[in-house]
Structure 1
């Protein structure tokens, strides 16, 4: 497969992990020493015929690839829309390790899910094997590795990724030599240079918001949700009950104000002191209705503005990508 990455791996580096060898004649992987197991995955043998099945299940993102043509409607349409690992905390997000490929760089309120790099992806021989045997998987893995070129931008990101808490990057190679930031940066750099045409559709985008994916799943995937976060039914139903209760409170406020107004109109002639109070009640009820109406109109305008703003920004990014992909990555929406 001709690409920036393929040429780099072929001519300039041997990777960070050398425990695998690739036999181009029969297109098989083997270990240089030890049991014939996939590095980092002791349950998968290299020669049992199920290797590709495991790799496809562990890395392909079928659902996201399916809805990718529509994702520009709800997310920034650029693969570089990924905050560095240290900046995730600045944005109030806690990185959470998730092995599911469908959750990689999916965020939900104060969490963002990140899939670790398995040791075999640091092997030159493994990339030769995938390039020869499974082009679809190669494109997915290349896109996955490209995300780490943006996640790990500074040494503080690298240290955080290698911490015991996260363990997103192996700490040592197969020779037990430390994988330093400098070594990793040299290895990961070519991934940032590959184009969208060389990766799977999901990785044409960066971070994805889970709430919007859940909405898209109901329309494009015919599923109730993309991923269940809440295991308890009361929490799950609460996401539906909150807007209903909000509408109920608003309507109840308006109806109460209308009842006060009608009640004042039907009052018999009263003394001056109570008459002033009745007039005040009537005007206050009218004012309450006007305030509720104004608030609803304001919220509606804000929602419409946000929708239009997102679409205009997405259009600008897509147009900028046609001229200069690097410049497009620097565009900011200015709205959270």
Structure 2
């Protein structure tokens, strides 16, 4: 009987209502945006707080490919902000929780910490009475900030320079909060947080490959765009996917020049086997270069056709939905 009560008990906030240590702490102001974009619609948090919070906190795109996340990152804590700066990374703000702690080259995407996640009453009213996934995702997101902001230097960077923390948050409050949080949430086994937070930083290039080729999420859209395409410019796309061709062309050029010099020598100029090998390599080089150019042109054509058709279909769908919504309003 006790096990049943424990299984059905409502989850609690991952910190105490009255923090057990630290100085007098003033409460933070909880302010939500008036509207947020969800897909093609503007949603007001006051109309459906649960839907708003699920969109804000549940990393849906990463949950879909969780089985492959080991390919994109190691199961260890994210580095604190001062280490991110030391590594030469620029922090780029994102409001999409699925992009939180994803890095690409010299950038790392981080979602700011909203003040409502530090408010005990808000947790009781909205986060503890929602779905288990929402509660675990909120706990995991808080845990990610425990990783990122571990020292006062991290705190100053996060609040004053990067605008990742509420402006009225004080260092003493954060220390007391982090101490209380780590007593209530097992930061070793991580059973109380969403499974995405079993991993820290994730590499964008590998997430793009997972989204393009994994059977779990395979689709025409994902094949072209991946998880988060860093650029929609064709030049960037071709540079990323066909840059290796420059090395191949250089190899063929140097090799053919070497063969030409070798054929001009007395030792190899009269060697029939070397002549046949040179002839075969020359033909192979011409075919390979021609095939590569044709592949690039074909890829460009397919991309142009895909983006044109998808834009046309998207335009028609949005217009139809707007007309339907307008007609329903009039009726």
Q: TM-score interval w.r.t. the shorter chain?
A: 0.5 to 0.7
Spell out the pairing of 1:116-265 with structure 2 (5 A cutoff): 116-128=112-124, 129-163=126-160, 165-172=161-168, 179-192=169-182, 193-194=185-186, 195-220=189-214, 221-222=217-218, 223-224=222-223, 225-265=226-266
Aligned length: 241
Segments of structure 1 that go 5 or more residues without pairing to the other structure are 20-37, 173-178, 269-336
- Secondary structure of the equivalent of 1:133? coil
Cα pair distance change 1:171/1:103, threshold 3 Å: same
1:211-235 per-position Cα deviation (integer Å, ceiling 9, x unaligned): 1111111122221311021132211
- Distance (Å, rounded) in 1 between the aligned partners of 2:11 and 2:251: 58
- Distance (Å, rounded) in 2 between the aligned partners of 1:216 and 1:264: 51
Query: When the two structures are superposed, what TM-score results if normalisation uses the length of structure 2?
Result: 0.65
- Distance (Å, rounded) in 2 between the aligned partners of 1:7 and 1:113: 25
Look up the match of 1:95. Answer: 91
- Secondary structure of the equivalent of 1:168? coil
Work out whether 1:6 is the aligned partner of 2:7.
no
Kept in 2, the 8 Å contact 1:97–1:114? The answer is: yes
Deviation at 1:88, TM superposition (A): 0.6
- Distance (Å, rounded) in 1 between the aligned partners of 2:71 and 2:15: 35
Kept in 2, the 8 Å contact 1:18–1:124? The answer is: no
Kept in 1, the 8 Å contact 2:11–2:128? The answer is: no
- Distance (Å, rounded) in 2 between the aligned partners of 1:4 and 1:181: 28
- Secondary structure of the equivalent of 2:196? helix
Deviation at 1:47, TM superposition (A): 5.0
- Distance (Å, rounded) in 2 between the aligned partners of 1:186 and 1:45: 33
Work out whether 1:104 is the aligned partner of 2:100.
yes
Query: When the two structures are superposed, what TM-score results if normalisation uses the length of structure 1?
Result: 0.64
Look up the match of 1:41. Answer: 33
1:50-75 per-position Cα deviation (integer Å, ceiling 9, x unaligned): 11111111221112112222222342
- Distance (Å, rounded) in 1 between the aligned partners of 2:89 and 2:9: 37
1:241-263 per-position Cα deviation (integer Å, ceiling 9, x unaligned): 21122222223322322332233
Cα pair distance change 1:47/1:76, threshold 3 Å: closer
CA RMSD of aligned residues (A): 2.9
Kept in 2, the 8 Å contact 1:17–1:122? The answer is: no
- Distance (Å, rounded) in 1 between the aligned partners of 2:259 and 2:147: 56
Spell out the pairing of 1:25-104 with structure 2 (5 A cutoff): 39-43=31-35, 47-48=46-47, 50-78=48-76, 80=77, 82-104=78-100
Look up the match of 2:301. Answer: none
Kept in 2, the 8 Å contact 1:17–1:120? The answer is: no
Deviation at 1:203, TM superposition (A): 0.9
- Distance (Å, rounded) in 1 between the aligned partners of 2:172 and 2:253: 63
Segments of structure 2 that go 5 or more residues without pairing to the other structure are 1-7, 36-42, 271-331
